[in-house]
A and B are shown apart, each in its own frame.
Chain A
Amino acid sequence: DVKVTQSSRYLVKRTGEKVFLECVQDMDHENMFWYRQDPGLGLRLIYFSYDVKMKEKGDIPEGYSVSREKKERFSLILESASTNQTSMYLCASSLSRDTSNQPQHFGDGTRLSIL
């Protein structure tokens, strides 16, 4: 079974802090994704990566950056946290772009509160 692990289930930070959310997958997947989930808005894609050192902007990248130094690890960075970034953050991975019809596998999320 694919395991996507997010380092924190709950996190509380203050406005202006730099925040790191970590995600690790154990199935040698090439693709990794970061979403935020808000009531009534569903899942919105922040950033994604198809390979190490690669990153692509999703639908709502403003205020975020990412890092993928190793294939199994994909980090989401809030450069200067703001209260409107309070949300549930979900990491996902999938096999590769060369393999069609592959679903994404999700971690259990990090509930981030910015005070």
Chain B
Amino acid sequence: QQQVKQSPQSLIVQKGGISIINCAYENTAFDYFPWYQQFPGKGPALLIAIRPDVSEKKEGRFTISFNKSAKQFSLHIMDSQPGDSATYFCAAINRRDDKIIFGKGTRLHILP
């Protein structure tokens, strides 16, 4: 019940295309859903986050779509650029203990 399932494991997208990464969870106690971006040799960095009372959040080319009834959320990267090539982790936080449960990550490669 504590798991966050992330797919796909890896993704190749043409420059200018839309990259879509999906996550699903079971525990309804999760109340904050951040996405992290990690470049090689660096720690994960917060990219964008959403609360379950909102169905969509957009920051620049990055959008989170959230479906509370289906317990699913996804990251969309519009007009994908080679500089977006990184590993992306979805995550969920339970407000009671502040612990983050991470998905296993998606390695995204944008073709120039």
Contact of A106 with B102 in the complex, beta carbons under 8 Å = no
Q: How many residues of A contact B (CB 8 A)?
A: 25
Contact of A106 with B49 in the complex, beta carbons under 8 Å = no
Number of A-B residue pairs having CB atoms within 8 Å of each other in the complex:
53
Nearest-Cβ distance from residue A92 to partner chain B, whole angstroms: 8
Closest to B36 in A: A106
A43-B32 in contact given A97-B98, A100-B95, A108-B42 (Cβ < 8 Å): no
Closest to B46 in A: A103
Q: How many residues of B contact A (CB 8 A)?
A: 25
Contact of A106 with B44 in the complex, beta carbons under 8 Å = yes
Contact of B32 with A104 in the complex, beta carbons under 8 Å = no
Contact of A105 with B102 in the complex, beta carbons under 8 Å = no
Contact with B along A9-32 (1 / 0, CB 8 A): 000000000000000000000010
Binding site for A on B (CB under 8 A): 6, 9, 31-32, 34, 36, 41-46, 49, 51, 89, 93, 95, 97-100, 102-105
Binding site for B on A (CB under 8 A): 4, 31, 33, 40-43, 45, 48, 50, 58, 90, 92, 94, 97, 100-109
